[in-house]
Structure 1
Amino acid sequence: MNQRLWLSVGAFIALLVGALSVYLYFKAIPYPAEIDHGPSPEAQANPYLAAEHFLRKQGLTVSHANSLDILPSLEPHQRSLLLLGDRSNMSPRQVNQVLNWTRAGGRLLFVAEALWDEKTGQSNDLLLDRVQVHQSLSKDLKEPPPDPGDDPYPKLTKLYLENEEAPAYVTFDTAFHLDDPKNLAQAWANSGKATHMMQLSHGQGSITVVTDADLWKTPAIDQYDNAWLLWYLTADTDVTLLFNTDHDSLLTLLWRYFPQALVALIALIVFGFWHVGVRNGPLLEPAPRARRQLQEHLRASANFMLRHNGQHSLLQALQQDILRRVRHRHPGFEQLGVAEQWLVIARLTGQPTRAISQAMSPRPKQRLPSAEFSRQVAHLQTLRNAL
């Protein structure tokens, strides 16, 4: 009975699943969908990738570099060098190299990176100071008089060309302003209040200074005339874009995405060094505390006293010990004269009076030769032992 019940339940479930599948098959309507996965890794690594593709479509040869080390290999004639990356570490020597390259016929375009300081008479941008162009904040400028015309794009930068009725509109950052105190600029592009691009002649070449290069990054390059301006500034030349595209190191990526594995690897290395550094031989047993003999201690004590108190103190100590023993054996010894005391010592020790006189006489404090000192000590010890 139970087996039939389970078979019935299984058949019912299978029938229900089949009916649901048929229903979903006829009701489901396929449709195309476009999923945006964002920019490719190449586009994320290179913000000017779209600009490079655009220039190549215009027939220009475009290359990319990460540093000025490639400058000696660039022929200046018919070549445009676009410094679009950070130049805070640019040295005076590199500034001279770039300007000499431009003077020989190259086209140089760079972004102004620092504001002019009136107090110090310079900015932190060496290249900008060398071309004598100053950068300031647009908000510090006086408000211009009202424009009687009807400007359709008052917040855009306008570039006027000869034989053109309408200007080109580009999206420079209007927060900054370029100033030409020496009147060296031959062309410029302005917004309603400030100047954002200047062109100057430099020897056989030319220099273009801009307030920013974000208008040539993705996706701003396809807005207004941004792409056209980039082509206009580099037309009929080979183009080299110089900016840093250094990526995170392998160690940084491992720490970001696999911190547990990196910690385990470090721990494994530490334990490996610890295992290699463990001693394989037997440990030395600690030396017994009572390993020295009494004679060693006495000799060490005597050497210590000899170094710190000198020979005189040791000889005097032996003489005092002899006198103490004689007083113990001959009452009233200290009341006798010196000659009588020496006679008593000679009688008690069996030594001649002359030897007693030499041993017990006060010694000079000057240092004795080692042999003489040893003889005196041996003589005094003989007398003491005899008592």
Structure 2
Amino acid sequence: MNRRNGLIMLGMLVTVLLVALGVYLYFKATPYPAEIDHGPSPEAQANPYLAAEHYLRKQGLIVSHANGIDVLPSLEPHQHSLLLLGDRYTMSPRQIDQLMNWTRAGGRLLFVAQSLWDERAGQSNDLLLDRVQLHQSLSKDLKDPPPDSDQDPYPQLTKLYLENEDAPAYASFDTAFHLEDPKNLAQAWANSGKATHMMQLNHGLGSIIVVTDADLWKTPAIDQYDNAWLLWYLTADTEVTLLFNTAHDSLWTLLLRYFPQALVALLALIGLGLWHAGVRHGPMLEPLPKARRQLLEHLRASADFMLRRNGQQSLLQALQQDILRRVRRRHPGYDQLGVAEQWLVLSRLTGQPTRAISQAMSPRTKQRLSSAEFSRQVAHLQTLRNAL
């Protein structure tokens, strides 16, 4: 047997073994279905009441959800239920008025009491709860009920009794909180063994339902006891809008959460810009020592100061007055001459034409002269003064 035949025999043996293994596994292996739980979907994570929405839609109700109270003007009150299941601490008194007016017009409003009643302050931090005149307290602060011959088998569950029904509906409200009705305004309520967790009041053409919590309608608690049925019962024959996210993150919070690197780069850029704007271009000039200043510098500085303080006219008038003092000394009786004769005297004494003297000695208007015109006027006056 050569090497080639040996490889062929080895290949055939391996093939037979693989076929035999496949036949064995085919008769021994038993297929079975398996479910792999990948957790809640992103939609379910973003909406804790997604299961509640699907359940109500299966009951034939039209369901939508909103993220702000600004949707209220677009909701028709008649046969419409609005469920406020989120934080309401940012709601303003004006928004409370809008809700109450919407309910009075025929809407059905359900909201969660979210603050305890403060006896000293005479109010709570829940403006809407105070508006409907209900109080929320802790169940542990209540007195224990008197013993009952009929022992409650489910003291931790909230019971809702209906007409023509022998057994109540059971719901898993949080029994840590209790609703009080000091004005006796409630038309219906539901209690656990010790506390009250749901009250219903009439308001105009509509109704208001207050509950101590809404966790029983979140996933997965909604499929327990009669939680889902209770939600349908409270919203039956209406369109439903769920509002559960009234507190929005600010722009700064969103930027810090999703774009921290961009914010760091922006702050660094602003810092570099401020540093660049604050750097001096070149060294600072030291003040010149006073000892080296010449008389001409003092005179120039004095003239600049007088020009800024008194204006051009004061300097021109000072030169004209100096010329007049000098000509009076050289020509007595100068002031008794007429203007034309005065200009002739000046022309004779200075050797300047009368036209130049007229332009230099005539009174000036208060209109500001240009730098060139002012310099020419000063030069003419200085020429006349120096000639005297």
Q: Structures share a fold, TM > 0.5?
A: yes
Q: Within 2, Cα distance between the matches of 1:44 and 1:247?
A: 17
Give the fraction of aligned pairs with identical amino acids, expressed as a percent: 75
Q: Within 2, Cα distance between the matches of 1:194 and 1:238?
A: 31
Structure-2 change in CA distance of 1:183 and 1:266 (3 Å): closer
Map 1:1-387 → 2, pairs under 5 A: 34-244=35-245, 255-256=256-257, 259=260, 263-264=264-265, 267=268, 273=273, 286=285, 289=288, 292-295=292-295
Deviation at 1:192, TM superposition (A): 0.2
What is the root-mean-square deviation of aligned Cα atoms in Å? 4.0
- Provide Cα deviations, 1:97-117, integer angstroms capped at 9, x if missing partner: 212211211111111122222
Q: Within 1, Cα distance between the matches of 2:209 and 2:297?
A: 92
Q: Within 2, Cα distance between the matches of 1:233 and 1:129?
A: 22
Structure-2 change in CA distance of 1:111 and 1:251 (3 Å): closer
- Secondary structure of the residue that 2:140 maps to in structure 1? helix
Deviation at 1:95, TM superposition (A): 2.0
The answer to whether the 8 A contact 2:105-2:204 is kept is yes
Which amino acid in structure 1 is aligned with residue 175 of structure 2? T
Deviation at 1:38, TM superposition (A): 2.2
Q: Within 2, Cα distance between the matches of 1:226 and 1:245?
A: 24
The answer to whether the 8 A contact 1:45-1:245 is kept is no
Which amino acid in structure 1 is aligned with residue 77 of structure 2? P
Q: Within 2, Cα distance between the matches of 1:250 and 1:207?
A: 34
Structure-2 change in CA distance of 1:39 and 1:152 (3 Å): same
Q: Within 1, Cα distance between the matches of 2:62 and 2:249?
A: 29
Q: Within 2, Cα distance between the matches of 1:117 and 1:65?
A: 31
Deviation at 1:60, TM superposition (A): 0.7
The equivalent of 2:351 in structure 1 is: none
Q: Within 2, Cα distance between the matches of 1:118 and 1:228?
A: 36
The answer to whether the 8 A contact 2:52-2:222 is kept is yes
Deviation at 1:36, TM superposition (A): 2.9
- Secondary structure of the residue that 2:73 maps to in structure 1? helix
Structure-2 change in CA distance of 1:90 and 1:254 (3 Å): closer
Range with bigger deviation, 220-229 or 261-270: 261-270
Structure-2 change in CA distance of 1:40 and 1:296 (3 Å): farther
Structure-2 change in CA distance of 1:35 and 1:277 (3 Å): farther
Q: Within 1, Cα distance between the matches of 2:118 and 2:254?
A: 41
Q: Within 1, Cα distance between the matches of 2:270 and 2:277?
A: 12
The answer to whether the 8 A contact 1:133-1:179 is kept is yes
| TM-score computed with the length of structure 2 as normaliser | 0.61
Range with bigger deviation, 196-205 or 27-36: 27-36
Structure-2 change in CA distance of 1:35 and 1:260 (3 Å): farther
Unaligned stretches of 5+ residues in structure 1: 1-17, 304-387
Q: Within 2, Cα distance between the matches of 1:45 and 1:105?
A: 31
The answer to whether the 8 A contact 1:47-1:217 is kept is yes
Unaligned stretches of 5+ residues in structure 2: 1-13, 304-388
Structure-2 change in CA distance of 1:50 and 1:113 (3 Å): same
Deviation at 1:126, TM superposition (A): 2.2
Deviation at 1:175, TM superposition (A): 0.9
Aligned length, in residue pairs: 281
Structure-2 change in CA distance of 1:288 and 1:96 (3 Å): closer
Deviation at 1:208, TM superposition (A): 0.7
Q: Within 2, Cα distance between the matches of 1:203 and 1:301?
A: 86
Structure-2 change in CA distance of 1:191 and 1:286 (3 Å): same
| TM-score computed with the length of structure 1 as normaliser | 0.61
Deviation at 1:79, TM superposition (A): 0.4
Q: Within 1, Cα distance between the matches of 2:255 and 2:92?
A: 34
Q: Within 1, Cα distance between the matches of 2:46 and 2:120?
A: 40
Deviation at 1:47, TM superposition (A): 1.5
